[in-house]
């Protein structure tokens, strides 16, 4: 029972002085919707007028976004444009729908303009002013902006410094051809028993559905992948492809990886060690979600065409920034947990996983191409009561990487 003689604590005053979150305060003060969920259909989120851009927008926050990364959606109405803006946080812009162009004012006073369409990806060199134009007079353009604004705004907690800073970063611009979709491909050989890492350095990717990918079977049968270094940034992105009739291996990593479904349809299963049930997130183009910190997740294609996705996170292949990202670049993300890594090999996964996928593709009429790795008739014959209980997750026998 509370002591009536005890002094009363003014919690409102405490909230003004301690446990502050400058990024969230900024987001709430921007006057647009702040959506929070495990993941979102970015194409259907409510937007409102956003004065900062003179366009419509909303924040698409997720429970797994972590401390450094976030996402917002920009909607430019037919025939309109944003006002010129600049900011001291990095941002990757993925075109969900629509056609338009972007003008960037570079530190040497050169103006660059490039055109984009659906499923293009581009980055603005740090602190450069830019303006986005919708070239259609009939349809809105909607863009997903994955960014490290939480890191930047919480670090400096001064929005004038973040949005009205005169400092320039000419080394971030790269080649002028990087705004035309050209770039440099570098295969990074990471030693024995670790797959080659293929990196493409540019500022602009015309179409993620047709961009050349490279074999990365270590992450799943027939898996393909390419990593991007955009605008010489510390943010990372990669695009992966899951062939039809197949799926990726489960793995886990740091928080803040924003995964956008680009093409195809399927679902992702997520679970922590010790869970008895999976969390399932269905996806198709326009859906975005972020696996929470150290939560196993596994991507499944249920469609009759290859499925591609885009993942954006903190720590690029060039500038890993945090230790976990460095170990990923070194190959740790594709090493079995039984060898101290973060991946669950097919032979070690819970039988419920393959069975669930077989049931899912039976509904879509897709044939499995995994029969050489699994005894599928035996898995389907397991009685339901034997499939219940804690999810079978092999424990790491070495250092977590």
* pLDDT at position 113 over 90: yes
What is the reported pTM?
0.93
**pLDDT of the residue at 56:** 98
Tally of CB atoms within 10 A around 10: 9
Contact 248, 373 (CB under 8 A): no
Cα 185 from Cα 182, distance rounded (Å) = 10
Cα 398 from Cα 382, distance rounded (Å) = 32
Contact 203, 230 (CB under 8 A): yes
pLDDT digits (tens, 9 = 90+) for 11-70: 666 667 889 999 999 999 999 999 999 999 999 999 999 999 999 999 999 999 999 999
Q: Band the pLDDT of 331: cuts 50, 70, 90.
A: confident
Half-sphere exposure of residue 159: CA atoms within 13 angstroms, side-chain side:
10
Cα 223 from Cα 221, distance rounded (Å) = 6
Domains of the chain: 19-173 (2.60.120.10), 178-346 (2.60.120.10)
Tally of CB atoms within 10 A around 389: 10
Cα 95 from Cα 104, distance rounded (Å) = 17
Region 246-270 average pLDDT: 97
Cα 88 from Cα 167, distance rounded (Å) = 9
* pLDDT at position 332 over 80: no
Q: 184-188 and 70-76: which strand pairing?
A: unpaired
Q: Where are the alpha helices (DSSP H) in 241-399?
A: 323-329, 351-364, 376-380
**pLDDT of the residue at 191:** 66
143 strand-pairing partners: 74, 95
């Amino acid at each position: 029972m509370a002591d009536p003689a005890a002094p009363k604590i003014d919690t409102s005053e405490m909230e003004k002085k301690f446990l502050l979150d400058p990024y969230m305060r900024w987001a709430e003060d921007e006057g647009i919707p702040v959506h929070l969920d495990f993941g979102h259909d970015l194409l259907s989120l409510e937007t409102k007028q956003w004065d900062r851009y003179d366009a419509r927008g909303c924040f698409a926050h997720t429970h797994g976004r972590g401390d450094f990364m976030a996402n917002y959606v920009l909607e430019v109405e037919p025939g309109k444009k944003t006002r010129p803006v600049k900011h001291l946080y990095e941002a990757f812009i993925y075109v969900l729908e629509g056609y338009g162009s972007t003008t960037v004012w570079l530190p040497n006073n050169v103006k660059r303009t490039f055109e984009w369409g659906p499923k293009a990806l581009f980055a603005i060199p740090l602190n450069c002013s830019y303006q986005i134009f919708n070239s259609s007079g009939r349809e809105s353009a909607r863009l997903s902006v994955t960014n490290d604004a939480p890191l930047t705004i919480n670090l400096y907690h001064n929005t004038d410094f973040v949005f009205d800073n005169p400092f320039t970063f000419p080394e971030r611009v790269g080649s002028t051809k990087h705004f035309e979709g050209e770039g440099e491909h570098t295969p990074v050989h990471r030693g024995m028993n670790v797959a080659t890492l293929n990196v493409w350095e540019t500022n602009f990717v015309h179409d993620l559905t047709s961009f050349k990918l490279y074999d990365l079977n270590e992450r799943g049968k027939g898996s393909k992948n390419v990593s991007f270094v955009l605008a010489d940034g510390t943010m990372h992105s990669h695009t992966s492809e899951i062939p039809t009739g197949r799926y990726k291996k489960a793995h886990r990593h740091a928080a803040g990886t924003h995964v956008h479904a680009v093409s195809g349809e399927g679902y992702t299963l997520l679970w922590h060690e010790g869970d008895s049930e999976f969390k399932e997130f269905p996806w198709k183009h326009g859906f975005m979600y972020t696996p929470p910190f150290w939560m196993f997740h596994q991507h499944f294609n249920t469609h009759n065409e290859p499925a591609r996705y885009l993942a954006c996170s903190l720590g690029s292949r060039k500038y890993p920034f945090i230790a976990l990202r460095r170990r990923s670049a070194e190959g740790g993300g594709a090493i079995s947990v039984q060898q101290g890594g973060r991946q669950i090999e097919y032979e070690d996964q819970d039988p419920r996983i393959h069975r669930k996928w077989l049931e899912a593709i039976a509904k879509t009429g897709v044939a499995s191409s995994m029969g050489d790795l699994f005894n599928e008739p035996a898995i389907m014959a397991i009685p339901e009561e034997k499939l219940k209980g804690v999810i079978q997750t092999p424990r790491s026998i070495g250092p977590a990487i």
